[in-house]
């Protein structure tokens, strides 16, 4: 079974990690269009108010931890463009323009 999550903020990465803990054999794929994951969206106003604030202060966990420790197929630089419910597929595109199906 494949579980695809669109977006890599803290809540979605928590869901991805929970799914993997519940069933280690499930294939978890996360599509995130930026290169930042597990960030605290609630902290964004502080970054906006202080543009010199280091973005790293908003990051809960680094992307590589989810890949190495949690065995999650975390794809940064990928944007979901469509969902085909009948085929149970998600269409994604890389920032370079390559189209992918998940």
- pLDDT tops 80 at residue 31: yes
Q: Looking at residues 40-47, what average pLDDT do you find? A: 74
Instruction: Sketch out the chain's domains with CATH numbers.
Output: 2-101 (3.50.50.60)
Residue 99: strand, helix, or coil: strand
DSSP one-letter string for 3-28: EEEE--SHHHHHHHHHHHHH-TTSEE
86 or 97, which is more confident = 86
**Quick one: DSSP state of residue 36?**
-
Active site residues: 42
Of the pLDDT bands very low, low, confident and very high (cuts 50, 70, 90), residue 59 is low
Q: Is residue 48 classed exposed, middle or buried when 0-12, 13-18 and 19+ CB atoms within 10 A define those classes?
A: exposed
- pLDDT tops 70 at residue 39: no
Query: Is the separation of the CB atoms in 3 and 29 below 8 Å?
Result: yes
Round the average pLDDT of the chain to a whole number and report it.
86
């Amino acid at each position: 079974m494949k579980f695809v999550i669109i977006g890599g903020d803290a809540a979605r990465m928590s869901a991805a990690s929970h799914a993997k803990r519940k069933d280690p054999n499930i294939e978890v794929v996360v599509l995130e269009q930026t290169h930042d994951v597990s960030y605290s969206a609630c902290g964004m106003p502080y970054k906006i108010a202080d543009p010199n604030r280091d973005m790293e202060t908003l990051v809960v966990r680094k992307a590589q931890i989810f890949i190495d420790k949690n065995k999650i197929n975390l794809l940064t630089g990928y944007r979901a463009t469509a969902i085909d419910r009948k085929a149970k597929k998600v269409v994604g595109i890389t920032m370079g323009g390559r189209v992918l199906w998940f």
